[in-house]
Chains A and B, each alone.
Chain A
Amino acid sequence: MKPPPLLTSFLALSGTAEIKLMQADNFDLHSFQTLTGTMFMMITQPNTPESAETLRGPVYELYADYVLKNPFHEMDQVIKAELFDSHLVATLSASNRKWGAA
């Protein structure tokens, strides 16, 4: 997913700086940009442990598997892979159970 125009201008202004985490009262927004330019964003409850590692690790791997390895996925199009969705939900539910959320 290429970053939206507003974020692009912000990135241009800030040189090589990159927003990795934004913390608000009710949520944290984690962002991770791969070397290929794909950006992942994840919204979590405030101070959820290991969020950045989850994004960089299991989530990225699930993307590389179920999205990229699907020959019918067109690059740079909206992701419509059910397998990706179901595995993502399973991984994040496991993470939620581990850290005590519902």
Chain B
Amino acid sequence: METINAEILTLTYGSIVRQLISDYEDVDEVNKQLEKMGYNIGQRLIDEYLARSKTTSCSDFKEVAERIAHVGFRMFLNTSARVAAWAPDGRSCSLILEDNPLTDFVELPEQLRGLSYSNILCGVIRGALEMVNIDAECSFVRDSLRGDDATELRLTFVAAAPEAYPYKDDD
């Protein structure tokens, strides 16, 4: 597989965020748009992940989280996340990112404190999981760009959505 300089990704992503900020001006709206972009990417990326990793389906949500953190992040961002802080009912956990290629060289200015800079990642995870019939929510709870000591995503299992066929058989 051919490789290119990772800085191209960092620069391209940075310019997308800048453009969205200039277009929407409202930080919450930008966060929403980033998540939406990620969602569209995730819907397509999941088949790439499945084709390359040649895995079978996961048996429970714990496995889902582990695979996202160890296989998914490694495959697409060449970094890995740590799964931690499982809720007692096993329905939500944290993914702690050691390093994030999207935020190399980035410093968030004071007036953009509410910006979830890497929010695209939340959308990617949500979109990808939806294509394998898992409704999940994903958001940043800690972000080193905002001054926290680590970058942490909270992943929550909402429901298992069974396959919805678009055809009504009795028509």
Answer yes or no: A18 CB below 8 A from chain B CBs: no
In the assembled complex, which residues on chain A have CB atoms less than 8 Å from the CB atom of B47?
Answer: 34, 36, 38, 60, 63-64, 68
Tell yes or no: A69 within 8 A of B by CB.
yes
* Chain A interface bracket (under 10, 10 to 19, 20 to 34, 35 or more): 20 to 34
Residue tally, chain B, CB below 8 Å to A: 19
**Cβ of A18 to closest chain B Cβ, rounded Å:** 13
- Is A5 touching B167 in the complex (CB atoms < 8 A)? yes
Check: A2 CB closer than 8 A to any chain B CB: yes
Interface residues of B (CB under 8 A from A): 43-48, 50-52, 54, 57, 131-133, 163, 165-167, 169
CB pairs A–B below 8 angstroms (30 shown): A2-B165, A2-B166, A2-B167, A5-B165, A5-B167, A8-B165, A9-B169, A34-B50, A35-B50, A36-B46, A36-B50, A36-B131, A37-B131, A37-B133, A37-B163, A56-B54, A57-B51, A57-B54, A60-B50, A60-B51, A61-B51, A61-B52, A63-B47, A65-B48, A68-B44, A68-B45, A68-B47, A68-B48, A69-B48, A75-B44
